Amino acid sequence: MTSNHTQSRIPVILVTGASSGLGLALARLLMDEPYHLILTARQDSLARFREQRVYEDQRLWLRPLDITDSEQREAVIHEADEKLGGVDVLVNNAGIAYRAVVEHVDEKDRMHQMNVNFRSPIELARLVLPGMRKRRHGRIINISSASGMMAMPTMAVYSASKFALEGATESLYYESRPWNIKVTLIEPGFINSLSVHNTQLTRLSQAALDDTDDPYHSHYLHMSRFISRFMKVTTATPHKVARVILKTIRRKHPPLRVAATWDAWLFSKMRRFLPRRLYHEVLYRALPGVGSWGKK
């Protein structure tokens, strides 16, 4: 990051969902860098910072932030504007994942998924943009997923939220470029972490997983095992993906999309070079246990 602005003050980086997983790994890397950090997490997750020996000091703030709460969003950005001169780098990392087929997602579940993964990150971006435009520099990094460029069965609404985030971020990439604001999507695939246990089932998807006679039982059974297995054997870790994010922050001209794991890179190449019909057929035939789907 180089500009007259960054030379006159310490750049300010705000990271959401920073108390665990990828967010915490990134926070640890940034703590060794010359930045002023604002690390946020939900109020009931703030204790994790202390458990991980992450403490506040002059250049590290810990702030409660439920990103779906408009008042909390505005309060954090306002404080940064008033006391630090604004946010120079926004890392929208906080997110959730629902595991459910389309038929098992009601409107409440759907809106919660979209609020956390799409609407709230875009609102945070909207709040920091005026200051970035005024300073004529800034960076917005949205943590997407390989599911933002390809969809998996039983992850419909999660993919929808990431597809939406990717679309809005791509527009923002063009819109903000005249003010020297760099916008990037980080696209991890499978990460070897405990986050697999944080995937939420809806009421209907949980019932289907528990009921061997449910028409979608095989979908959930085989996909859950498949995802869990890949997340355990992949060499990608939160630390490795965090290093990709830090490298992106340092880059003078970061690209719009950065594949953060080998599988995300592979899927992006498949989408680019395989004919679309062949691409979907290959993925369908590769689905685990697909021969047992639709038998009930």
pLDDT in tens, 175-206: 999 999 999 999 999 998 876 556 899 999 99
What is the percent of the chain with per-residue pLDDT over 90, rounded to a whole number? 90
pLDDT tens for 3-56 read: 444 456 899 999 999 999 999 999 999 999 999 999 999 999 999 999 999 999
Q: What is the CATH number of domain 4-291?
A: 3.40.50.720
CB 155 within 8 A of CB 99: yes
Residue-range domain boundaries for the chain: 4-291
Bridge-based pairing of strands 89-92 and 60-64 is unpaired
Contact 196, 227 (CB under 8 A): yes
Q: Which residue is listed with tokens 């599988």?
A: 263
Of 158, 173, 216, 220, which one is the catalytic site residue? 158
The answer to whether 140 touches 245, Cβ cutoff 8 Å, is no
CA 263 – CA 207 distance, rounded (Å): 31
Identify the pLDDT of residue 231: 84
pTM score, whole prediction: 0.93
Average the pLDDT over 237-242 and give the result.
96
Distance in angstroms (rounded) separating the CA atoms of residues 182 and 254: 7
Strands 36-41, 60-64: pairing is parallel
Mean pLDDT value of segment 123-132? 98
| Annotated catalytic residue 158 | yes
Q: Is the pLDDT of residue 67 over 80?
A: yes
- Give the N- to C-terminal CA distance of the chain in Å, as an integer: 57
